[in-house]
Structure 1
Amino acid sequence: MDAQLPRTALLVRMALPDHVCPWGLRARHLLKSHGYAFEERLLTSREEVEAFKAAHGVKTTPQVWIAGQRIGGHDDLRQWLGLKLNDPKALTYRPVIALFGMAGAIALALSMASMGTPFTLHAAEWFVGLAMCLLAFLKLKDIEGFATGFLGYDLLARAWLPYAYIYAWAEGLAGVLMLSGQLVWLSSAVALFIGSVGAVSVIKAVYIEKRSITCACVGGGSNVPLGFVSLLENVTMITMAFWMLARHGGL
């Protein structure tokens, strides 16, 4: 990025009656947030879009010019501004952090609404139950994708394929029962079983075989690395199973 260039720009983006290019809006936001005064030209028909591409020898819109120099599209603009590009294949814990953060917030809110304080034992129980339900939902949303990823490391699923499909439903069932406080023996048994198998599978894949693979815990196609977080999820289920049995009867 040349700091000496005038902070003026031209943005050409597609805004059809049935489609407004989101990358054009992103590019506009980048220019605004970095203090650029810019002219905005809209391409409002397919004919205009194709003519613009042909005239400038480009394959995509938007296109940005700064001080008369063509920078390129949205990603080119980010790079020119010195911003990091998003890598869709990069490993990240963001989905897990978002899920557990939301589960915790809901649990605290429910505790506050029903008991007048967010910090209760029920809130801790609800947190685990909610997290299990949310994790099950993400798995069931793309059960085939989850099963494919799960087969990469789960020992029982590798030996008996149907378990990869049963797992998501079992996790959801255990979570719902934990939230309701009903059939504690069943929810605890399910959580103990799937948590134990999962913990052993993660330990074998990550800590014994030293494999670097992604975890299917938040559904298929995720970029969450298999490792400590995955092990913690399973250990939490095991701990919760014993806790529910001790607190609500059964031990």
Structure 2
Amino acid sequence: MMTKTAELHRMVMADHVCPYGLKSKHLLEKNGFEVDDNHLTTREETDAFKRKHGVETTPQTFIEGERIGGHEALREHFGQEVRNEDETTYQPVIAIFAVAAMMAAALGIGLLDMMLTMRVVEWFIAISMCFLAVQKLQDIESFSTMFLNYDLLARRWVPYGRVYPFGEAIAGILMVGGILPFVSVPIALFIGSIGAASVFKAVYIDRRELKCACVGGGSNVPLGFVSLTENVMMVVMGLWMGSKGLFF
């Protein structure tokens, strides 16, 4: 059987090893190629390679003498998906809700010896709120700018875009512990109801196509069902926790 070979040129310097070069090498080996791994060990050597082959980036892969290109081009060559930077995706939201659900279930099993209880549902919503708040707080300026595209209160009072993530975090943290409902309930009801109304108006009445700020300002999650769900969950959680304080 003839061995498949590929020629790879990647940066391997004392202060920098190109991560895409490592990914390209792994991808080639995974697809059964024996890799002729050529290291570019200096900036001068890298620049000379780019000029010689008329390319702007490294790594570069050659198969049977044909230049395939960088890591993304190599993925395309092997029929793998290459996501456009502007492409919409629900992956961040799926990750948040999935991990929150597993954490809530683990708490239920570890602390209550059961998984299907209302307390587990409470933990799931509260932990999700905390995760979503953290996403926003990573770059609060970027979030608040995107938030201004559709939030009704933020458009009237710009600082609200910076207040919202802190409110969501505080309400979520208190609800995880089931403490101070007289603080968490009003916050959740307030920001959740305004958020739900804002999203519903922007998406379902005005029919606007916007990016959702729910997982931070740099997300490619489309505004709509996800953000509406986030805010409705806060309202429902606020009503539930409030009713527990009154009747239980």
Common fold by TM > 0.5: yes
The runs of at least 4 aligned residues of structure 1 exceeding 3 Å deviation read none
Quote the residue 1:83 is aligned against.
Answer: 80
Q: % of aligned pairs identical?
A: 51
Paired with 1:17 and 1:227, the residues of 2 have a C-alpha distance of 47
Q: Is the 8 A contact 1:6 1:67 kept in 2?
A: no
Q: Which of residues 23, 30, 33 is equivalent to 2:30?
A: 33
Indicate the SS of the match to 1:213. coil
Quote the residue 1:120 is aligned against.
Answer: 117
Quote the residue 1:155 is aligned against.
Answer: 152
Which structure 2 residues correspond to residues 99-110 of structure 1 after superposition, within 5 A? 99-110=96-107
Indicate the SS of the match to 1:156. helix
Q: Between 74-83 and 201-210, report the one with greater CA deviation.
A: 74-83
Q: Which of residues 40, 56, 60 is equivalent to 1:59?
A: 56
Quote the residue 1:140 is aligned against.
Answer: 137
Q: Which amino acid aligns with 1:187?
A: S
Q: Is the 8 A contact 1:130 1:179 kept in 2?
A: yes
Residue 21, structure 1, aligned to residue 26, structure 2: no
Measured against aligned partners, the alpha-carbon deviations of 1:222-243 in whole angstroms (never above 9, x if no partner) come to: 1111001111111111111111
Indicate the SS of the match to 2:85. coil
Instruction: Give unmatched runs, 5+ long, in structure 2.
Output: none
Instruction: Give unmatched runs, 5+ long, in structure 1.
Output: none
Residue 249, structure 1, aligned to residue 226, structure 2: no
Indicate the SS of the match to 2:12. strand
Paired with 2:24 and 2:111, the residues of 1 have a C-alpha distance of 46
Q: Which of residues 127, 131, 138 is equivalent to 1:130?
A: 127
Q: Between 121-130 and 48-57, report the one with greater CA deviation.
A: 48-57
TM-score of the superposed pair, with normalisation by structure 1: 0.93
Total equivalences in the alignment: 247
RMSD across aligned positions (CA) = 1.7
Q: Which of residues 38, 43, 46 is equivalent to 2:43?
A: 46
Paired with 1:178 and 1:83, the residues of 2 have a C-alpha distance of 42
Paired with 1:122 and 1:113, the residues of 2 have a C-alpha distance of 13
Q: Between 79-88 and 164-173, report the one with greater CA deviation.
A: 79-88
Shift of 1:247: 2.2
TM-score of the superposed pair, with normalisation by structure 2: 0.94
Indicate the SS of the match to 1:19. coil
Q: Is the 8 A contact 1:185 1:250 kept in 2?
A: no
Shift of 1:41: 1.1
Shift of 1:9: 0.9
Indicate the SS of the match to 1:13. strand
Shift of 1:6: 7.3
